[in-house]
Amino acid sequence: MPPKWLYCDSGLNAMMRKLLQVSVILTALLCGPLFAQDNLNSTQNRTYVQVDPVDMVAVQQGKNAPLQFKFHIRNGYHINSNQPTEPELIPASLGFTPPPDLVIAKVQYPTGEMTSFPFDPTQKLSVYTGDVIVNAVMITQPNAPLGTYTVHGEFKYQACDNNACYPPKKLPVQFDVKVSKSIKKKRATTNAQSPNIHN
């Protein structure tokens, strides 16, 4: 015969079961939004693209200097190219807010790779994957003040995987520019002999 402490009143058992059910429901109600928020924060804070540091750009007043920006797209993801195939798709774009007397021009993006994805195998989209290089030109005005300046910019993109796209992101980009005095080349003077030879 089982010991007396194993016997429980049926009403007490029912009450315990009810309390357990209420506890489970309360836990789901309270913790569910927290888990969802953690998921959302995880997606928002996730980095899909990284950029290499840019070396200081040295340029003379009134001259030009080439610029190159190298981006790395995380494995398993792609971003829309600068010229997506559909108007509703968000293009990759690189913009700057340079100081006065400095201009960034001729921004050149690579051609996107035409790729189809499982969500619509019949349609190909223009995307970037892996490493992406964007070229540009730094132009200084002839009267640009001498010194070192920091140029700030943003790389805007929308990352997707094979099943879904994620909210657009902005990746900060910055680099330093050193403006030096323009060195004017002196014209070479030659003492050419006159073609008329006097005897």
Could you tell me whether strands 78-80 and 120-128 are parallel, antiparallel, or unpaired per DSSP bridges? antiparallel
* 126 φ, ψ (degrees, to nearest 5): -90, 110
* CA–CA dist 160, 49 (Å, integer): 11
Does the domain at residues 49-180 carry the CATH identifier 2.60.40.1250? yes
Look-up of token digits 């007396």: 4
Task: Give 121's Cβ-side CA count (13 Å radius).
Answer: 1
pLDDT tens across 1-60, in order? 444 444 444 554 555 555 445 443 434 344 444 433 434 445 557 889 999 999 999 999
Taking 90 as the threshold, does the pLDDT of residue 76 lie above it?
Answer: yes
pTM above 0.95, yes or no: no
